Amino acid sequence: MNEQTAAMGKPVPHKRRDGAASGLAGARLAAVAGRTVLWLFLLIVAALTLFPILMTVTGSLMTNSELMGGGHILPSDLQFQNYAEAWRQSNFARFTWNSVYMSVAATIGTLLVAAAAAYVVDRRSFPGKTLYIGLQASTMFISVGAVVLRPQFDLMVKLHLNSSLWGVILILISAHASTFFILLGFFKAIPRELDESAMLDGSGFIRTFYRIILPLLAPGLGVSGLFAFRHAWNEYILPLVFTLTDPHLQTLTVGLANLRYGSSAAMQLNLMMAGACLSILPMLIVYMLANKSFMQVTAGSVKG
């Protein structure tokens, strides 16, 4: 009986090892298949993202008849003069300065207002705090841009800012609830003991904010500033409305839209694409400058 049991029990370990090996091979195959599907998905997303950019770049180097006629993926002859013509027709230097001025001012104002508001909300308790946070959150999910455009314009008329870029800047500063919540998350990661130690040393609430807490917020300010700058740079409706009476105040987005027809009645899409390529250069520079902040935020999240 013992011999039969021993004889019958001998193959069992081999079966278990075979089952474990097949299970391990199946797990490896599933992992490889999962990575393959993930890479295919990422390649498709990258292709869909890069395709419009590549079409814009190639279209900017075509003649207008070649572009409008279709049937061409690559230009038969590179038309680099399109960039010079787009620069000349769109008053590119002036409009670029207007866009930079508006975007930088709106970004600085947004960061100061959002950082101060987030610091007070995180460090202080006051009546209506929950209501304030709820109202801020509601503005992120409800699009009211077109609805409030007329009241905003009427308000700027009363402030005599309806023919100035500062009217646009003030509206942009007030429309960044996302920046408030991003910075609020960063403030929650800063220990309150720093505030308490500073106040024990005689530092006031405002001084503690600007001299001690705000420098620790540099990565968050960099990321939030990038989003605020991008939003201001790409804004079209507000600059269009507020610069109708003074075309010299037009921003680059408004100027590029005027390139569709230029000085002729024919639509000039090649010049518009050339201007669009030129207009993304400042944003690329800003992204490169803010790359360090992105790396710091990513490193911090991985450590956490």
pLDDT confidence of residue 303: 45
CB 62 within 8 A of CB 270: yes
- Domain locations along the chain: 2-60, 83-303
pLDDT confidence of residue 304: 44
Give me 259's structure tokens.
């390139």
Q: In whole angstroms, what is the distance from residue 243 CA to residue 250 CA?
A: 6
Q: In whole angstroms, what is the distance from residue 249 CA to residue 232 CA?
A: 15
Phi and psi at 182, nearest 5°, equal -60, -50
Q: Which CATH architecture has domain 83-303?
A: Orthogonal Bundle (1.10)
pLDDT confidence of residue 292: 65
Give me 87's structure tokens.
């620069």
pTM confidence score = 0.75
Q: What type of residue is 82?
A: N
Give me 139's structure tokens.
């503005």
Q: In whole angstroms, what is the distance from residue 216 CA to residue 231 CA?
A: 25
Could you tell me how far CA 242 lies from the centroid of its own chain?
Answer: 24
Q: What type of residue is 148?
A: V
**How distant, in Å, are the alpha carbons of 122, 137, 154, 221 from that of 179?**
14, 11, 26, 9
pLDDT confidence of residue 98: 92
Mean pLDDT, the chain cut into blocks of 10 residues (304 residues total):
48 56 71 88 92 87 80 80 82 88 94 91 87 84 75 88 89 87 88 84 83 85 88 89 85 80 63 85 80 57 43
Q: In whole angstroms, what is the distance from residue 85 CA to residue 81 CA?
A: 6
Query: What long-range pairs does 291-299 form, CB within 8 A, spacing at least 24?
Result: 292/222, 293/218, 293/219, 293/220, 293/221, 293/222, 293/223, 293/226, 294/222, 294/223, 294/226, 296/218, 296/219, 296/222, 297/219, 297/220, 297/223
